[in-house]
Amino acid sequence: MKFNNIKAILFDSGRVLNYPRTGNWFISPRIYEFIDRDIFDRVKELDINRAFRKAYDYIEKQSLIIDREQEYYHFRRFYRIFSDELPILNLDDELVDMIAKDLVYNNRKYKFYDDVYEVIPKLYERYELGIVSDAWPSLLNVYEEAGLRDYFSTFIISSIMGVTKPDKGMFIPALEELGISPAQTLFIDDNYSNCQGAEELGINSIVLDRDKGYDEQVESISSLDELVKILD
């Protein structure tokens, strides 16, 4: 597996470059300052999942969220729905508000994989880099907090664009901002379907499968170090 004449690399963000500190994208880092953990731990996992699903049904319908203020507004509603499904948590409006603020405004809510800090600066010396992620506006602040934002010449976030991958509306703006052709671009994602969407536009792609969840039929790499090897 080799890629030739690559001039730009587009990265998905979640599970490719970073992951949630709590292990769940919707559980904020300081949530147990607002929810009694002993009570939370007694709630059946089935009930927790049901509450999250109902809240997610709401947030998934909000296709256009262009800034953190709007993101905060919608996540207040998200956690209100979650709380209403689990009255045992006894979350009043003030606590719901604090959880939403922590999720949206906590710039350290995600952790970056160790290889990101080593490999991204090296790739930056040789390629144009970009982010193409199904995410919300606060992701920009996470990258700024980590000192990584300036490595990426384009930063495409689905909620700002009003579409999600694999829609071509996620990829074309990135290509236009970089001024580089699809054939000279490589896209990295942990989702095979998203990679297929990029390939339909003529963009080279590869699955980054850190958790090794795909079988051998899906050609993949498991780290950014492997990415460097196939680019050399």
Residue 2 has pLDDT above 80, yes or no: no
d(CA 41, CA 226): 39
Q: What is the pTM assigned to this prediction?
A: 0.96
Q: What is the pLDDT of residues 139-196, one digit of tens each?
A: 999 999 999 999 999 999 999 999 999 999 999 999 999 999 999 999 999 999 999 9
SS3 146: coil
What's at 168, amino acid-wise?
K
Taking the C-alpha atoms of residue 60 and residue 47, their distance in angstroms, rounded to an integer, is: 20
Q: What's the CA gap between 214 and 209, in Å, rounded?
A: 7
Residue 105 scores a pLDDT above 90: yes
Q: Which two tokens stand for residue 27?
A: 């559980």
Phi, psi of 90 (to 5 degrees): 55, 50
